[in-house]
Chain A
Amino acid sequence: MAATEGDQFLKQATGPKTRGLLRVIILVLIAGAAVSSRLFSVIRFESIIHEFDPWFNFRATKYLVANGFYDFWDWFDDRTWHPLGRVTGGTLYPGLMVTSGVIYHFLRFLTLPVDIRNICVLLAPAFSGLTAFATYLLTNEMVSSPSAGLLAAAFMGITPGYISRSVAGSYDNEAIAIFLLVFTFFLWIKAVKLGSMFWGALTALFYGYMVSAWGGYVFITNLLPLHAFVLICMGRYSPRLYVSYTSWYALGTLASMQIPFVGFLPIRSSEHMSALGVFGLIQLVAFVEFVRAQLPSKQFQTLLRALVVLIFVVAVGGLVLLTVGGVIAPWTGRFYSLWDTGYAKIHIPIIASVSEHQPTAWPAFFFDLNLMIFLFPAGVYMCFRTLTDEQVFIVIYSVLASYFAGVMVRLMLTLTPIVCVAAAMAFSQILDTYLDAKTPKVDAKTAENGSSEPAKVAAAAVLSDGLRSTRNPLVGIYSYASRVTVVGFSAIYLLIFVLHCTWVTSNAYSSPSVVLASRLPDGSQHIIDDYREAYYWLRQNTPENAKIMSWWDYGYQIGGMADRPTLVDNNTWNNTHIATVGKAMSSKEEVSYPIMRQHEVDYVLVVFGGLLGYSGDDINKFLWMVRIAEGIWPEEVKERSFFTPRGEYRVDEGATDTMKNSLMYKMSYYNYNSLFPAGQAQDRVRNVRLPSEGPQLNVIDEAFTSENWIIRIYKVKDLDNFGRDHHSAVSFDKGHKKKRAAKRKGPKVLRVE
């Protein structure tokens, strides 16, 4: 059976049914490849949630599964942002958790009791398979050649640019959002093509799902109107566009407003105004078209143009006025930093402090997209040649996404789908041209019978017969040698692409970052598990309500793994609160202690990489704490005083006094000397020798230090029982007896009851 099928395939005499089956099989295989290449981390480490944000999503999912949907919707989380709490149900995108919850309950309904953790871990790979399928659908809408769709699906399945956010365990919003993004675009293209209200409504439905899943929905909110606007400007207004856009906008906006976190933003914030504006514009255009249909005249054209320009000016003017008047919220800082990469560094250090908000380095494009980054412009160029409505979309999308990907590392993710689509179009063009076994000349020998129909069509598309030189079929690939060379090299490139993707996935994107791996000299793997060691210590040795203060990076992990309340976490909604923690960390003990008392802090957690050479530690992040604190208390915390007069950031003997007295410095290096022979203490991250005298702590006690000293936990002391300040209490306990005060100068202070 298989042999006959293969035979048929070779003869290219496959019927549509067989080809359909083959396509299904290929797509299933692509999905399988997509899923399996994301399982490196599970195989190497274990089925564990990765990084930071996924820990919150995981915790929220557990809450959803345990308490039901309505409790989740109204969830007031009293274990984060102590003592402010967080209206978590109203400040998150619930799509991810609800998706997992639905899958969980569905599997239980099928009597498959799967642990919610495994669902969360494997959700991203599962959705990457769907993304590959959605990319196939989207690409199929763009070109007639089906091979392009399959190539795009394969590209999407294994490209590192997408894998970076969707390996097993990376349980983040992007896990499902990219699928929704691509699928919404597919539906949109379909709607524009058909002018169908049904497809427009489906677009709105998936747009609503997207809104519930990821803040990046704004990308769709702006891209679709832009597409419609460009089409109108190109004079391609059609009732199809009108029907699809209005049905999408009306239903999609209503759907998006159902998410509490989004609420009234679609009609109040600037990011959403373009969609509203184009909605208004398209009504006007439709009206004008209608009027023109009634009274056709030449002057009407000018009237129309004038009207459009006038309306546009009035709309923009109104927008500006409303923004100034405060009715429409101005653009948020994150949005500004998209246009001016230096903006965040100056105005909102908290945004700039996140590494994924940094501008992208050039090698990252090649690293994440490999050969596709070269094929991408070719694909876009091909779109220009036959500029249909949907290909306009590709052009707009690629221009916008390329810009954004250059500005923020994180937005590489939105660029990846279009790169896959465009690259697949270009690549399939090459393959279709060169794999076509038929020689173009009619009287040439027809050695191989039959030709792939789509290839013919594609070739016809390439060879326009408008030019004189091409009128006679002189252009074509006649020799097998050139065919074999080009096809062979293409295949080699594809193989290298696969190798590269696998290598990147395996080496760069499969580390959970909760567990660190290192190689021993003999090549065997050594697991550094300090994070979990410390978090479980907290879980098992502290009261359930012990408040943990740490820098916000670790908030979600503490909440998820240690299950203890934290002061700040990765949901950086309250800058002042984060600055308070920054101030406590960067001030003297005497200043920090009242802050910690006021916030009822029981334990302080710091990350210290000096012993192991782990560079992502708190001393390296310390300047951000200082900067953020300085933003709120410029008089009390000054970044300058952490630098030596020569402008160096030092932790060794030459460190400034402010640095040496800061709580963070003291907590990091407390007792560190005792590991080394006298005077030999060495910080392996910053490669400096530390002062021979280590720092002294008065207001906190060391409670726990993990195996490799990565995590250090300190307990905040109570007020001294006898009303002394901590400094004198500690020195008394050490055996320094207080000296009787020498005869005081000045008048005696009398005691009054």
Chain B
Amino acid sequence: MRWLFSFLALALFCVVNARSFTGSRLLVVLEEESEREKYGVFLGDLESRGFTITTLTPKSESLSLFKHGARAYDHLLLLPTKSKGLGPALTANLLLDFMKKEGNVLLALSAETGTPTAVQSLLLEVDIHIPSDRNALVVDHFNYDSTSAAEKHDVLLLPFPKPARSDVKDYFGGEGVIAVPRAVGQTLGNESPLLAPILKAPSTAYSYNPKDEADIVEEPFAVGQQLNLVSAMQSLNSARLTVLGSAEALQNAWFAEKATLAGKAVKTANRDFAAKLSSWAFKETGVLKVGKLTHYLNEGSSKKLNSSSALPENNPKIYRIKNDVAFQIEVSEYTSTHLTPFELPPNDILQLEFSMLSPFHRLNLSPISQTANSTIFGASFRTPDQHGIFNFAVKYNRPFLTGIEEKRQVTVRHFAHDEWPRSWQISAAWVWIAGIWVTVAGWVVFVGVWLYSAPVGAAVKGGKKTQ
């Protein structure tokens, strides 16, 4: 018993210690061990947030994302390497497999070293596009740092990003400017709903290849707001792939650097941004968790929920048509250390569908109550006049939030033979009921009359004649 307890305590300790919702094992892949120094502050911050960091180079023998078919790490930080390939342990297929098993990837690109082919094809698969030239970088003649890039204008100074829409939660806001030196700009495909930009380039920026002057004149890769400096892809299983255009922005050198923006001296806030970005990328923020999900018959004796005598059966497998049903779902949001009640962004709603082939009901779930670490959303409705196998479905997929896809199958049956109203309760049937009884009474009367009114004379002659 004691060992079990200590084991539990240890497990609890680990859970408390790790700030990420999914685990604390972080693999950092970089060119060589000495590079680690450059990112020392960032990695130190991560370590202080509870991550256990393993640093490996692509050439390392022990580099493998999987062990015994399961993930060996929970998160992967891929810093730029000089080599063109990343070796057999980090192919695009393996990276996708890593994400299929809910591993998160933070991908830092660099215009100086170029992007490895594995990463290129990985990005192509998820419909994120980067310039085909190895050295293309983002240039802006208006928002550059005139201290370090007075000539080249390739160090961008940008404010913290704001949510693109009002119904999206803000996880990357902050005060100050972010320095994005020599970034690889990305464009996002239009088809996939899984992609979201985190940091867009200003409208005056463009992608520029210093090796090929002509290219920019003919057809630039992308310009202005179409160009993203940081973008994110959250797959259906909520594994996150974050693409950071400039790995340099994570380096110690840029974490609190003096810079000049349009003649004004500013201090870069890269450390703050890196913390926010990595905590989102490694699922410390923006993680939703569904707690208890209940539905119950909300009528008759079971309607009095709180009376101890008549607690309704929770989550029954079967309802009847035209039943009053209540549905509740408990949603919490994980923020860095603990679960908090999930609050919907303004202008956004959580919806419940009651569907068979297509939704018969699509209802807004309204917050009913809050516990210490969750919000309970609920709705009640009447099951449709259609029997079949229905699903309670809650689907909530929003940018920067892990998806909620809950489905509970219930059967909605027809009226049983003894659930219809009795005949005398239907006023239109009274005529027919009266008819039945009149016939019965008439028959009895007739029999009586027949028996007692036989003609006396005939009866004497013989009863056979009455036949």
Contacts and interface: CB of A to CB of B under 8 A. Distances in A.
Contacts of B189: 751
Contacts of A728: 125
Given A78-B411, A721-B235, A732-B125, A753 B387 contact: no
A728 B187 CA distance: 20
Contacts of B414: 74, 76, 87, 90
Contacts of A90: 414
Contacts of B112: none
B124 interface: yes
Interface stretch (A119-127, A200-208, A217-225, A737-745): A737-745
Nearest to B409: A545
A83 B125 contact: no
Interface string A361-402: 000000000000000000000000000000000000000000
A492 interface: no
A733 B57 CA distance: 25
A554 B427 CA distance: 48
A694 interface: no
Nearest to A737: B121
Contacts of A735: 93
A74 B416 contact: yes
A589 B113 CA distance: 43
B185 to A, nearest CB: 13
Nearest to B239: A721
A261 to B, nearest CB: 13
B226 A723 contact: no
A751 B236 CA distance: 21
A76 B387 contact: yes
B127 A723 contact: yes
A545 B382 CA distance: 25
B53 interface: no
Most buried by A among B125, B197, B389: B389
Contacts of A105: none
A751 B187 contact: yes
Interface in A50-88: 70, 73-74, 76, 78, 82-85, 87
A290 interface: no
A723 B192 contact: yes
A588 interface: no
B118 to A, nearest CB: 10
Nearest to A728: B125
A748 to B, nearest CB: 8
B233 interface: yes
Contacts of B165: 753
A109 interface: no
Interface string B340-371: 00000000000000001100000000000000
B237 A738 contact: no
A83 B390 contact: yes
Contacts of A723: 126-127, 191-194, 235-236
A676 interface: no
B387 A87 contact: yes
B357 A722 contact: no
Contact of A83 (B187, B193, B388): B388
B213 interface: no
Contacts of B413: 74, 76, 78, 85
B100 A85 contact: no
Interface in A703-753: 718-724, 728, 732-733, 735, 737-738, 740, 743, 749-751, 753
Contacts of A719: 236
Task: Classify chain A's interface size.
Answer: 20 to 34
Place the interface of chain B in its size category.
35 or more
A598 interface: yes
B356 A733 contact: no
B417 A724 contact: no
Contact of B357 (A74, A260, A598, A724): A598
Nearest to A84: B388
B124 A740 contact: yes
Contact of A722 (B164, B190, B194, B318): B194
Given A598-B357, A740-B132, A753 B100 contact: no
B235 A722 contact: yes
A747 to B, nearest CB: 11
B119 interface: no
Contacts of A638: none
Contacts of B99: 721-722
B261 interface: no
A70 B190 CA distance: 57
A483 interface: no
A599 interface: yes
A74 B197 CA distance: 55
B260 to A, nearest CB: 31
B389 A78 contact: yes
A751 B190 contact: yes
B191 to A, nearest CB: 7
A724 B193 CA distance: 11
Interface string B389-424: 110000000000000000001010110111000000
A598 B389 CA distance: 13
B15 interface: no
A132 B436 CA distance: 43
Contacts of A737: 92, 121, 124
B96 interface: yes
Contacts of A750: 190, 226
A18 to B, nearest CB: 40
B219 interface: yes
A749 B127 CA distance: 14
Interface string B243-270: 0000000000000000000000000000
B111 interface: no
A73 B417 contact: yes
Interface string B189-207: 1111110110000000000
Contact of A751 (B92, B226, B387, B417): B226
B187 A733 contact: no
A78 B165 CA distance: 43
Given A78-B411, A83-B356, A83-B357, A753 B125 contact: no
B27 interface: no
A718 B235 CA distance: 13
Given A721-B99, A738-B121, A753-B165, A85 B388 contact: yes
B43 interface: no
B392 to A, nearest CB: 13
A722 B96 contact: yes
B125 A724 contact: yes
A78 B388 CA distance: 7
Contacts of A78: 318, 389, 411, 413
B69 to A, nearest CB: 17
A599 B389 contact: no
Interface string A85-102: 101001000000000000
B93 A733 contact: yes
A751 B231 CA distance: 13
A596 to B, nearest CB: 12
B125 A722 contact: yes
Interface in B214-248: 219, 226, 233, 235-237, 239
25 contacts: A70-B418, A73-B416, A76-B318, A76-B411, A76-B414, A78-B413, A83-B388, A83-B390, A85-B388, A85-B389, A260-B417, A719-B236, A721-B96, A722-B96, A722-B126, A722-B194, A722-B235, A722-B236, A723-B126, A723-B235, A724-B127, A732-B96, A735-B93, A738-B124, A751-B188
Given A720-B236, A723-B127, A751-B188, 16 more contacts: A74-B416, A76-B411, A78-B389, A83-B357, A83-B388, A83-B389, A545-B409, A718-B236, A721-B235, A721-B237, A722-B125, A723-B194, A724-B127, A732-B125, A738-B121, A751-B189
Interface of B: 92-93, 96, 99-100, 121, 124-127, 132, 164-165, 187-194, 196-197, 219, 226, 233, 235-237, 239, 318, 356-357, 387-390, 409, 411, 413-414, 416-418
* The 4 A-B residue pairs with the shortest CB-CB distance in the complex, in nearest-first order: A76-B413, A74-B416, A753-B164, A78-B411
